[in-house]
Amino acid sequence: MGLFGKMKDQMKTGAELSRQAMAQGGATPTLADRDAVQAQGNEYRRLAQVGLSGNAVITASADTGDRAAGNTVAQLSLDVTPEGGATYPVSLRYIIAGSDLSPYAPGKSYSVKIDPENRENVTFG
């Protein structure tokens, strides 16, 4: 994607964040909100391409009270099992859409992508 395509996507993302926050009764997102959401999205896309496949079972989840563009920042504890590997624990802060933590309740299981350079860095997908 060229420079103008990237700029166009970033402008759409910023406008969407503003609409989302306003719809949820919040203020216009800050640059830090935008940067946090974009960073998580960029990492998701990167790991979708280079990440190792695995599975994660959520062992604990909590709303940190922090928000990013009106979205909940959750603290998640996971038991991650890479394909063909041993299970290990991971703790991460993760921005979730909206405020409903029920999809991230303990016991829920999801496919994940694991960073081959840092196995503590995982994303859902």
pLDDT tens string 33-65 = 788 888 888 888 999 999 999 999 999 999 999
Owning domain of residue 67:
3-124
pLDDT digits (tens, 9 = 90+) for 79-117: 999 999 999 999 999 988 888 899 999 999 999 999 999
Residue 57 Cα distances to 6, 90, 94, angstroms:
35, 10, 15
- Mean per-residue pLDDT over the chain, rounded: 82
Question: For the chain, where are the alpha helices, taking DSSP H only?
Answer: 3-23, 31-50
pLDDT at 26 over 70: no
- Spatial distance between the Cα atoms of 77 and 24, rounded to a whole number of angstroms: 27
Reduced to 3 states (helix: H, G, I; strand: E, B; else coil), residue 5 is: helix
Does pLDDT of 11 surpass 50?
no
Q: What whole-number distance in Å separates Cα of residue 21 and Cα of residue 7?
A: 21
CA atoms within 13 A on the CB side of 24: 20
SS3 41: helix
Q: How many domains does the chain have?
A: 1
Residue 115, pLDDT score: 95
Q: Do 97 and 61 contact (CB within 8 A), yes or no?
A: no
